[in-house]
Structure 1
Amino acid sequence: MIDAVESHYRGSGDLSNVIADKLRKAGKEMDRLTTADLATVDEFHIRGRKATLELAGYLNLGPSSDVLDIGSGLGGPARTIAETFGCHVTGVDLTQEFCDAAAALSGWVGLSDRVAFRQGDATSLPFADAVFDAAITMHVAMNIAAKDRMYAEARRVLKPGGRFVVYDVLQGEGGDVLFPVPWAREPSISHLATPDTMPLLLSDAGFRVLKVEDSTEESQRWFEEMATRMAGSVPAVTFQAFLGNDFAAMARNQVINLRERRIRTVSYVCEA
């Protein structure tokens, strides 16, 4: 199953070279890149950079904070958080190609000293107990059946009182998910929790849930606006860099899934 998840996200060729080539063709100067230039490819979750900043605001961060991003992908949220709050962020991701590309992209924007990336499994994190001040995970658990182990591991590596923010796609009440979607081309690697089960999963892992926010309507508008923008002018680089030609169908299905409430987007602010 892990191999199937890795295969889903693995692009063709060296991801950092693919992204660099697309940026250069769009006229970007590689020595003047900003984190905003990368946001259309490295903030791989619904509502993108805006959601990252909103959710990171609940983590009570300062310059001395040591933050863990579980399922860090290409490192966009880690860089955004490190740049905004002046803290250090460690990203862990199942896919080695993502970790390698995340390190390269961080160098392009001068943040290599603020972020680090490591290959690892969210259900068996490669870190000691109680080493992080805060943790965040965005659009990751949809591929993980053993959510109880994932959240227990997040609790284990957090210091007492540390904040944990979960932002994920959940199963809605409107019927089965239409595939392909960004996290799965078919159902075998899609494992959606429901809004009813999430609080219990988090509390059983040792967290106190402080805030729950359903952003489904905003997520629907975001996807519809993205589809309109891309119909007129495609950004220099998009998620298609690693999802391939299926991305257009994935985006169309996401709009339908959100509109028909086949899926919901919900965030949880927790305390260890």
Structure 2
Amino acid sequence: MDQVSRFYSGPGGLVTAIGSALDSSGFDRTALRPADLAPVDEFHIRGRAATLEIIEALDLDADSHVLDLGSGLGGPARTLVEVTGCTVTGVDLTPDFCEVATALSEWTGLSDRTRFYVGDATATGLPDAAVDAAMTVHVAMNVADKRALYAEAFRVLRPGGRFVVYDVLQGEGGDVHYPVPWAKDSSTSFLATPEEMRELLAAAAFEVTSEVDSSDESLAWFQQVRARIQRDGPPPVTFAAFLGDAFGQMAANQVANLEEGRIRTVMFACSRPPAGQPWAMSTKRE
């Protein structure tokens, strides 16, 4: 786990670097919206559009308390709050990410409904049935013990609550080209196949209600991002702020991995069966 945390920790001063980049681009930190930060803090393939799909699958309202396992810079959490008015608790292994997530929530005026703390997504320390909904967004690629991750999600979720997993999975095209945005090499990369994911979620006693493969949309998204950068230049803050000079190669490898079917992006919507109701699996694939 220390190796994973070190990979995501930047050269230091991430809050200062992001703040300076926003200031130099003319953003008023007192009037920021989550969408303004999306190019850096929606750190997953298809960005904010994918987060909006997660919100729909979670079926949230203003009274919902959501747990974000592996919350990163907090972009998805803030989008959930902005759109639904819910409250989100985020847990992440990387201290730098939690520090930045807290600062960005303050700058966007959402610190009263978001909380981020350093911790292990496989052992959060939260009470049983503590949250109404839970999600992981591009997290399990770095988690070797996925059974523990999904068992923890089930434990902290109230009966009848919803859980969404949106992750990069192993494709049929062969080994992944490294480096990628989640790993320099295979030593910290633990991709499951779609078949393994179904088994893992079932083993955790989740009912999987839908499975959506968005790999084609993910490739189109990368192509659109590249075209936009060529036309307009890069956004004021990018993932390179914490991934460094290797980010360009990582992004290129992501495109190649998708084109060659080495990775897939898939979203699983699940629920914890209501108390007293026998578990039965009903999976809709798209």
**Range into which the TM-score falls when normalised by the shorter chain:** over 0.9
The 1-side partners of 2:230 and 2:10 are apart by 23
The CA distance in 2 between the partners of 1:126 and 1:258, in whole Å, is 36
Deviations 1:35-92 (A, max 9, x none): 1110000000000011001111111211110001111001000000011001100011
Partner of 1:15 in structure 2? 14
Q: What does residue 220 of structure 1 align with?
A: 219
Q: Give the corresponding residue for 2:249.
A: 249
**Aligned AA (2:192):** A
Q: If the length of structure 2 is used for normalisation, what is the TM-score?
A: 0.93
Which letter does structure 2 place at the counterpart of 1:147?
Answer: K
Q: Distance in 2 between matches of 1:135 and 1:75?
A: 14
Distance 1:119 1:55 in 2: 23
Cα offset, 1:26, TM superposition: 1.2
Q: Which residue number corresponds to residue 186 of structure 1?
A: 185
The AA in structure 2 aligned to 1:140 is V
Matches of 1:63 and 1:29, distance apart in 2: 27
- Which amino acid counterpart does residue 248 of structure 2 have in structure 1? A
Amino acid of the structure 1 residue aligned with 2:126:
F
Alpha-carbon distance, 1:113 to partner: 0.4
Q: Write the letter of the residue equivalent to 1:9.
A: Y
Per the alignment, residue 266 of structure 1 pairs with 266
Aligned to 2:137: 138
Distance, in Å, in 2 between the alignment partners of 1:65 and 1:153 is 19
Q: Partner letter of residue 105 of structure 2? A: S
Q: Per the alignment, in what secondary structure is the counterpart of residue 175 of structure 1?
A: coil
- For structure 1, the 5+ residue unaligned runs are none
**Where do 1:35-74 residues align within 5 Å?**
35-74=34-73
SS at match of 1:58: helix
- The alignment covers a number of residue pairs equal to 271
Residue 228 of structure 1 deviates from its aligned partner by 2.0
Report if aligned partners of 1:227, 1:251 keep a CA contact under 8 Å in 2: no
Identity among equivalent positions (%) equals 57
Q: Which amino acid aligns with 1:106?
A: S
Instruction: Give the alignment of 1:114-193 within 5 angstroms.
Output: 114-193=113-192
Question: What is the distance in 2 between the residues matched to 1:229 and 1:256?
Answer: 19
- Find the aligned partners of 1:221 and 1:85 in 2 and give their Cα distance: 28
Q: Give every structure 1 segment of 4 or more consecutive aligned residues whose post-TM-superposition deviation is greater than 3 Å.
A: none
RMSD of Structure 2 on Structure 1 (CA): 0.8
- Partners of 1:126 and 1:226 lie apart in 2 by 38
Of residues 82-91 and 223-232 in structure 1, the stretch that sits farther from structure 2 once superposed is 223-232
CA distance in 2, matches of 1:201, 1:264: 17
Give the distance between the partners of 1:252 and 1:231, measured in 2 at CA. 14
